[in-house]
Structure formats: C-alpha cells, structure tokens
Structure 1
Amino acid sequence: MNIVLLNPEIPYNTGNIGRTCVLTNTGLHLIKPLGFSLDEKAVKRSGLDYWKDVQLYIWEDFEHFLKENIENKNANLYFATTKTEKKYSDIKYEKNDYIMFGPESKGIPEEILNRYKENNITIPMLPLGRSINLSNSVAIILYEALRQNNFEY
C-alpha cells in the first residue's frame, strides 16, 4: 500500500503517519510544497526512531507523482475527502493502491477531486467539525485496505 500526502502542513501529523507506514510496510509519498522541513524536530519526534526506516518518496508536484506512480504502474489512486458520499469501506483495495490525503487546512483541491470524481472516498462522520485529524484518517483507511488484503505486508 501507499499513502500520499499532498502539501502536508503539520509536521507532527506527517511524523505519526510515517511511523504507521513503517509498521505496516507502506510507502509514504510527500508531494511538495511541504509546510515544514523534513529535518524539523517535530517530524522526527512524532515519528520517533522509526523515521529513518520510512519508505519515503518526495515529489515536486502532483503531475510528476501521477506520471511516475499511477500511469506507469497502472495503479489505483483514491482521494480522501469530505466532499463525497462514497465510503472508504465500499472500495475493494488492491495491494499496490495509493490513497491520497490533502493539506490539513483545506484538503485536496477541487480540480483534482473533480478530475477523479469516481475515486473520491470519505470517512463517515457527524457534521460537527471539518474532519477527523489527518493521521487518524490515514490509519482508518489504511487499516481497512490492509484488512481487505489479509494484512499481507
């Protein structure tokens, strides 16, 4: 599996997600611009001593990421958003799929969501706030994808 963070803004979330990725043998793709430096103590502190083991890929922009990972590998890419009705649990995930999450303050841009509307997924929640924390959202969807694949890491 692969987790993709488009323009992540909060180093603690990225550190936590990195730790989850290490312990599930999941690739972590970061698409620039990042809202922090990967050398920041906050990233390393939340990733603890796992950060050195993250399968980390850095991409200059969304189009470069798409060309190298989705088009060349004919992989599935899903977009986590609050702007759809299709539940993350309604998808049949494959072992090499990619799940993208947008920046914490605004989510994945509308033009991307509209371009790939059939691959938009959401975590059902009460409309009492904007969304569940990014690192929690990653864990929820990633573990469903792993469960469907019998936790084959």
Structure 2
Amino acid sequence: MFHIVFVEPRIPPNTGNAIRLSAATGADLHLVEPLGFSMTDAQLRRAGLDYHDLASVTVHPGLDALWQALLPARVFAFTASATTSYADIAYRRGDVLVFGPEPTGLDARVLEHPDVTDRLRIPMLPGRRSLNLANSAAIAAYEAWRQLDFAAP
C-alpha cells in the first residue's frame, strides 16, 4: 500500500490513533525514535484499541534506518510551510507520507533531505498554526487510498 511515518512522535494517543489508521487502511506505520513514550504506554494501547495486531508498525532507531528501509520511494514531507497541497499529488502504491513531532513539525534535516520528493501542506484557515498529528495523517492517508480506489493492500 503506502507508508505513514511519524518522526519522533511525542503524544501516545496520536500514535495509537495512527495504529488504528494503519489497521483500517492497510498502510504501514513507521515510527522514528526517539519516541516520547514507550510502546507499552497505557494511553497508546487505549487509543489503538484492539487494532494493534491488525496494524503493521515498525520502529526505526533513527532517520538513517528509516531511509534505508524505505528508499527508493517517493517521499512526501508534510509541513504547514509548504506551497503544494496534499490534494495536488497523484499518489502511488509505495509512497511515503512523513509527519513531524508534536508540536514542532518536521525539522530541516527531513525537509531538506535529498530523497524528499516534495513538501506538502494541508490547507487551513489563515492564522491557524497546525492540525493534530493523527488527523493530518488520516487526511493524507485517505486521500492517497481514495486515489488507489480503496484497493486492499
């Protein structure tokens, strides 16, 4: 299908929700350390409900390990400062959707990485800083999956 990446996530319920998103869509979820919680965290388990066994989740010790595991692939880094809308992309199987930690977002080492295909934004009203991490991932994942005709992985 495609890959959802959370770089250094800090809030367990957001990652728990992403686990449910992964289970519901067939997307692979990748978490890049350091994590702001333990994978056994009660809030993470609660937010993921009983979907943990239905989701594909990989924890990478750092960005280099992530790139080694997923490249070559098209990589889309989500940031509020981008000019290209997530809705303007023709997604393909194997695409990588990368999201940064709460509350800072992706830093320059990811945004400027030579393998990042494009930087994308999710439109918001003026004066708004950001969306919730799990909500952002869901918006992007469902658009990518819709373009794949909601096909099974």
TM-score, normalised with respect to structure 1: 0.93
Partner of 1:75: 73
| C-alpha RMSD over aligned residues | 1.2
* TM-aligned CA deviation for residue 112 of structure 1: 1.9
Runs of 4+ in 1 over 6 A off after TM superposition: none
Q: Deviations over 1:38-63 (max 9, x none)?
A: 10110010010112222011101001
Gaps of 5+ in 2: none
Partner SS for 1:78: strand
> Residues of 2 paired with 1:129 and 1:91: CA distance?
23
Gaps of 5+ in 1: none
| Count of aligned pairs | 150
> Residues of 2 paired with 1:17 and 1:69: CA distance?
18
> Residues of 1 paired with 2:60 and 2:78: CA distance?
19
Partner of 1:45: 46
| Residues 1:58 and 2:59 are matched in the alignment | yes
| Structure with the bigger percentage of helix | 1
* TM-aligned CA deviation for residue 79 of structure 1: 0.4
Q: After superposing the two structures, state which structure 1 stretch, 106-115 or 79-88, moved more.
A: 106-115
> Residues of 1 paired with 2:148 and 2:117: CA distance?
22
TM-score, normalised with respect to structure 2: 0.93
Partner of 1:130: 129
Q: Percent identity?
A: 37
* TM-aligned CA deviation for residue 100 of structure 1: 0.5
